[in-house]
């Protein structure tokens, strides 16, 4: 009976699922068994376990940086956690460019998600499947496994959640350029790196075959990288090293025909980095013979040609290629796009959350990592309420003391204030209240307060789509989940200027620990905290040590380090497997 009432509710709750349920019921009763077990553990079997408080069900989508970092720290004893991802492993994606050339093996940068979860107490529930639809209204998701169709049993299933954590990452953005999906390589997944490695060898094997003209050999050995970001730059550098350290010895007949080109729409490569790094990289690439075409946009890719348009001259030219790697831009995955339509975010470019990583307009759904962006509240939107809350004596003016009482909450709630202070080299936040000549003022009225803060919001910028951001968000969110109960009675967050009381948690704040760009030839460039820039061989060693320390397990740490050592001693392998 309970099963049927569950079905009824499921069907009535969301008519779109009724067809699916009928489909499931037809196939050997698999879902029936599942629904029953779900209803036991899922809050429907209240008549049995009324005494014990039910654990809240958390469903996590994705096992990338954000999802894994969330799972690593989550207290499994307080939640019933289910993880859904088409990949049963976590991949250390910053090393993907190294996998393309065999500097590091694919298997050295992956760790089974079950291994990671095993270390946590409580029950492990991981399903190797893809979430195809989020039904936020009914707190359900619909999943399908991509496993071998020859295996018996349904590949489709429904999960119910109390909290949903969306960490599915992003997909490649082709900017609707024709031919990109068909003829370009990408560098987002481990399989991409493995395919790329094979394809590089293919280009060499093809180029040395008897019966080709020199022009054909040259075309096959022309490697084109679209996008001058850190991934594209690192791949170019790795490829250059691979070719010049190993392949020229094995394919001596064609060693002078190899060419690597990088196409960048901006004026410089690595334009998210400090200018010094960007120009060092460009000079190094020039010395290495890697052609950098800046101010140049790809208009189409075919199996043999890549066409591009110079921004300056509007001229379109086509060049033959052996292989194109597309490493520019990311876009939302279909399941996220569909979800955005449902919750009224259809017009947004990417899923939007508040500063607590909660999806806007959708309580109990969190989104983090590359699939989401934080919509930081502007201070100017709240300026009146802030003023009102701070002006305790309702005098219509704010004294420095009154301001100081709320300043901590302002700094936590609006991180742009901190950035603004730094950019203006102001020592203390009360310096904001100084008049235009820099003299202290005892009090300001609302107009003066607005004027003092009017520039602050200009410092807001969205976070980059990096592993670092995703990992910090995952760790932040797991902390929130672990403190959910105690913080509900004892909120940790800043004052609610627009309401009463305090926020349950402090908003997420990103700490930038710097970024690296390996440039090949055992050299790297790094942007370190405090605007430090470091370039050269020592930076490459810093890169080695930081990347080794950041590994998710001792196993992968050992494997990555031994791969590096092997490469130094024995070189890279060029077998086409």
User: Residue 314 and residue 7: Cα distance in Å, rounded?
Assistant: 61
Residue with Cβ nearer its own copies (159 or 372): 159
Residue with Cβ nearer its own copies (147 or 316): 147
Residue with Cβ nearer its own copies (445 or 573): 573
End-to-end CA distance of the chain: 55
Whole-angstrom CA distances from 504 to 193, 215, 483 are 42, 66, 10
DSSP alpha helix (H) spans, 394-456: 400-413, 416-423, 446-453
Residue with Cβ nearer its own copies (210 or 499): 210
* β-sheet bridge partners, residue 80: 57
Residue with Cβ nearer its own copies (27 or 490): 27
Whole-angstrom CA distances from 365 to 16, 136, 344, 372, 552 are 21, 8, 14, 12, 26
| Length of the chain (residues) | 577
Burial 325-345 (b: 16+ CB within 10 A, else e): bbbbeebbbebbbebbeebeb
Residue with Cβ nearer its own copies (88 or 317): 88
CB of 89 to its own copies, least distance (A): 4
CB of 164 to its own copies, least distance (A): 16
Residue with Cβ nearer its own copies (37 or 423): 37
SS3 474: helix
CB of 504 to its own copies, least distance (A): 32
Q: Which of 410, 483, 482 is nearest to 452 (CA)?
A: 410
CB of 140 to its own copies, least distance (A): 13
For 454, other C-beta atoms within 10 Å of its C-beta total 12
Which residue shows structure tokens 């005494």? 51
User: Residue 320 and residue 304: Cα distance in Å, rounded?
Assistant: 5
């Amino acid at each position: 009976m309970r099963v049927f009432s569950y079905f009824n509710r499921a069907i009535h709750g969301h008519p779109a699922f009724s067809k699916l349920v009928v489909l499931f019921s037809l196939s050997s009763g698999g879902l029936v068994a599942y629904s029953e077990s779900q209803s036991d553990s899922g809050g429907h079997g209240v008549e049995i376990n009324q005494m014990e408080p039910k654990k809240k069900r958390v469903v996590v989508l994705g096992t990338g940086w954000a999802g894994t970092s969330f799972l690593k720290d989550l207290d499994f004893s307080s939640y019933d956690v289910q993880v859904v991802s088409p990949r049963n492993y976590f991949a250390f994606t910053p090393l993907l460019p190294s996998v393309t050339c065999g500097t590091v093996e694919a298997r050295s940068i992956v760790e089974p998600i079950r291994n990671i979860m095993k270390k946590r107490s409580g029950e492990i529930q991981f399903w190797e499947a893809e979430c195809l639809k989020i039904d936020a209204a009914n707190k359900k998701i619909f999943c399908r496994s991509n496993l071998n169709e020859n295996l018996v049993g349904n590949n489709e299933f429904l999960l119910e959640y109390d909290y949903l954590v969306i960490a599915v990452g992003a997909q490649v953005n082709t900017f609707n350029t024709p031919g990109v999906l068909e003829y370009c390589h990408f560098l987002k997944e481990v399989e991409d790196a493995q395919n790329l490695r094979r394809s590089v060898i293919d280009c060499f094997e093809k180029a040395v075959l008897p019966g080709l003209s020199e022009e054909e050999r040259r075309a096959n050995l022309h490697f084109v990288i679209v996008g001058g970001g850190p991934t594209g730059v690192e791949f170019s550098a790795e490829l250059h090293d691979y070719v010049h350290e190993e392949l020229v010895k094995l394919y001596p007949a064609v060693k002078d025909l190899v060419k690597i080109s990088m196409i960048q729409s901006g004026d410089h490569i690595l334009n998210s980095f400090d200018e010094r790094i960007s120009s060092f990289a460009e000079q190094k690439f020039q010395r290495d013979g890697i052609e950098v075409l800046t101010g140049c946009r790809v208009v189409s890719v075919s199996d043999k040609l890549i066409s591009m348009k110079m921004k300056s001259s509007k001229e379109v030219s086509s060049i033959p290629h052996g292989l194109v790697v597309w490493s520019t831009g990311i876009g939302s995955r279909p399941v996220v796009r569909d979800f955005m339509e449902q919750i009224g975010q259809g017009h947004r470019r990417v899923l939007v959350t508040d500063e607590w990583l909660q999806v806007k307009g959708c309580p109990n759904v969190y989104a983090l990592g590359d699939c989401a962006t934080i919509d930081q509240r502007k201070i100017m939107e709240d300026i009146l309420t802030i003023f009102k809350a701070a002006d305790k004596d309702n005098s219509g003016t704010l004294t420095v003391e009154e301001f100081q009482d709320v300043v901590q909450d302002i700094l936590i709630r609006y991180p742009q204030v901190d950035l603004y202070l730094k950019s203006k080299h102001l020592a203390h936040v009360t310096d904001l209240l100084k008049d235009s000549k820099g003299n202290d003022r005892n009090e300001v009225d609302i107009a003066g307060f607005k004027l003092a803060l009017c520039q602050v919001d200009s410092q807001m910028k969205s976070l980059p789509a990096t592993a670092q951001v995703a990992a910090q968000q995952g760790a932040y969110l797991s902390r929130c989940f672990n403190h959910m109960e105690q913080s509900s009675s004892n909120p940790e967050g800043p004052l609610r200027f627009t309401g009463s009381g305090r926020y349950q948690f402090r908003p997420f704040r990103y700490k930038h620990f710097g970024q690296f760009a390996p440039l090949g030839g055992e050299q790297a460039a790094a942007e370190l905290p405090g605007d430090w820039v470091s370039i050269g061989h020592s930076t490459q060693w810093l890169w080695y040590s930081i990347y080794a320390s950041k590994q998710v397990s001792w196993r992968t740490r050992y494997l990555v380090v031994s791969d590096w050592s092997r490469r130094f001693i024995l070189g890279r392998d060029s077998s086409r497997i």
